[in-house]
Amino acid sequence: MKTSFLKIIALVAIVTFSSCKDKAKEAETKEAEEAAVAEASAITFTAVNNKSVIEWKGFKPTGSHNGTINVSEGTVNIANGKIESGNFTIDMASIDVLDIPKEEDGNADLRGHLTSADFFDVATYPNAKFEVTGISTVDGKTMLSGNLTMKDATNNISFPVTTSMEGDMMTLTSETFTIDRSKWNIKYGSKSFFDNLGDKFINDDIELKVTLVAQKA
């Protein structure tokens, strides 16, 4: 019995360690900054909304959920092959859940909970917004910085991206990164706001991956 118990403890430890090790790096987060301004000669690319998407993943002690959110509109201004400014709007009502089949009640239940006032309060805040404030190179990676506004809070975040051009189309793809939802006042089940949650808490970290496809205007 003792041996079996120790094996279970060891397995839990391995799973916990693996989860921590595999967690995507948190985006550098700080106070909002002034938006970047492009040169007059910059070329404008307009987001293609049916190809631009943000993948999300949220975690709790018993597992995780994942899905997508659509980018409804946006522009990116490029000069000399580099992003100079830009912004895009995220349609929070488009939150989709992918890990639960749509025909199951759990899909609609989770989606309804995420769009409710407990989480993103879509009725009051239908859109989130990202506004480019700068771009830099850190350890050989291109880092995109911008003000992310969700609900009633705005913070500046930085995360690694790559861009590619094919004809009149530009694709910007981020690495998977995390944000701390508590910094945007998304409080439900968060240990940052509530004590005595036991194992009923939901992690503050949300993994995100951005794919923005834009066409030359």
Cα gap 171→162, rounded to integer Å: 8
68 in a structural domain: yes
Cα gap 98→1, rounded to integer Å: 40
Q: Which two tokens stand for residue 16?
A: 């916990």
CA angle 206, 187, 49 (to 5 degrees): 45
Residue 7's pLDDT is 40
Residue 195's pLDDT is 84
19 in a structural domain: no
Residue 95's pLDDT is 98
87 in a structural domain: yes
10 in a structural domain: no
12 in a structural domain: no
Contact 55, 66 (CB under 8 A): yes
Residue 48's pLDDT is 97
How many domains does the chain contain in total? 1
CATH number at residue 100: 2.40.128.110
pLDDT tens across the length of the chain (217 residues):
544 434 433 333 333 333 444 678 999 999 999 999 999 899 999 999 999 999 999 999 989 999 999 999 999 999 988 999 999 999 999 999 999 999 999 999 999 999 999 999 999 999 999 999 999 999 999 999 999 999 999 999 999 999 999 999 999 999 999 999 999 999 989 988 988 887 778 999 999 999 999 999 9
114 in a structural domain: yes
Burial class (CB in 10 A: 0-12, 13-18, 19+), 62: exposed
203 in a structural domain: yes
**Amino acid letter for position 102:** K
Strand partners, 60: 63
Cα gap 155→31, rounded to integer Å: 5
Residue 198's pLDDT is 76
CA angle 106, 109, 112 (to 5 degrees): 150
Contact 133, 147 (CB under 8 A): yes
CA angle 102, 74, 42 (to 5 degrees): 150
Rounded to two decimals, the pTM is 0.87
